[in-house]
Structure 1
Amino acid sequence: MSRPGRKPKPTLQVVREGNPGHRPVRDGVTLPPTALKEPDWPEWFAGDDDETTYARDTAAELWRRTAPTLSRSMGLVNEQGEVLTDYCVTWARIVQGERSLTRDGVLVESGRADRGRVKNPWTTVLNQYRSHMRSLAGELGLTPSAASRLVRPPVDGGEDDPFD
């Protein structure tokens, strides 16, 4: 059952941003640092056709671009990698859908003589993927609004600094 009110910030985020209200910080579960392991993209995108290969390459490129940054800045570890994998797969599907819309158009033949042209199903699917993408990007701190809430940690050069 969820609690009413704001979603609590992760402990590492409170450390990074500071605690101006001096509220008690709950010690959350601290996962040991483990390297993020890139998924086996052919398992996620089965097939050898050009569209599948392009989607696989798109997901892999986004992973390689974002994984090192999220690992360093947010402490994302391999056990939490499914969120990043889902983010990459969602982005690849959005690209795949946009390519289909460009190729086939917003209106397509329905396949039934009495219906004529109908809205391309990708338009509905893309709206759902984009909504999911926004929630994942917020979870990972990748939206401009989420990034604006992040504050650079103070640099004191101490040995205890978790951001070294």
Structure 2
Amino acid sequence: MKPGTKPKPTHLKLIEGNRGKRPLNRKEAAVPAALPAPPPHLTADALEEWNRVAHWLRRIGLLSEVDRAALAAYAQAYGRWVQAERAIAKMAEKDQLTGGLMIKTSNGNAIQNPLVGTANKAAADMMRYAAEFGMTPSARSRISAEATSEGADPADRFFS
């Protein structure tokens, strides 16, 4: 893999304009939009998030069968984040002083609750995956996608 920034997909260059005036990759793989089935290993929270975003991503043409693992990773990171935040909130009910953010070690020292690190890591992972699918405000500002209608030729939006 070459170092540097990730290359922009050709369909995004067509939508945004080819500012660098570099030749377009005419041999780039074209993947049809589809709604993959969620993998069975997703937690309940992850499955709920999958169902919330998958139809939307499919409708705007940003999801295909090949994206199943990436969307599953996003959904699972979301589920892990929610689970950690719920556990912190439950601990906060008993700990008015630190709100569950700190715990005491066996030596009596106060340290950051490991769940905070878990929540932070899951949130960071979730946001990284979300940006790949255009699910953050800054990511959406860089793309322009239109809803795809069933049976329509995707090239029509560029040539009609």
Task: Indicate whether 1:8 and 2:15 are aligned.
Answer: no
Range moving further from structure 2, 7-16 or 121-130: 7-16
TM-score by length of 2: 0.75
1:27-59 CA deviation, whole Å, 9 max, x = no partner?
31223444311221xx344xxxxxxxxxx1x21
1:16-36 CA deviation, whole Å, 9 max, x = no partner?
333355431113122344431
Task: Indicate whether 1:99 and 2:86 are aligned.
Answer: yes
- Residues 10-159 of structure 1 correspond to what in structure 2 (within 5 A)? 10-26=9-25, 27-40=27-40, 43-45=41-43, 56=44, 58-104=45-91, 105-110=100-105, 112=106, 114-152=107-145
Check 1:33–1:143 CA distance in 2 against 1; reply closer, same or farther (3 A cut).
closer
Provide the residue aligned with 2:95 in structure 1. Answer: none
Output the CA distance in 2 between the equivalents of 1:119 and 1:21: 47
Q: Which amino acid aligns with 2:78?
A: W
CA contact (8 A) 2:35 2:65 kept: yes
The share of aligned pairs that are identical, in percent, is: 31
Aligned length: 143
Q: Which amino acid aligns with 1:12?
A: H
Give ranges in structure 1 of 5+ residues lacking alignment: 46-55
Output the CA distance in 2 between the equivalents of 1:125 and 1:134: 14
Give ranges in structure 2 of 5+ residues lacking alignment: 92-99, 147-151
TM-score by length of 1: 0.74
1:58-94 CA deviation, whole Å, 9 max, x = no partner?
2122111111221232442112211111111101111
Check 1:17–1:63 CA distance in 2 against 1; reply closer, same or farther (3 A cut).
same
Cα RMSD (Å): 2.4
Output the CA distance in 2 between the equivalents of 1:144 and 1:69: 15
SS at match of 2:60: helix
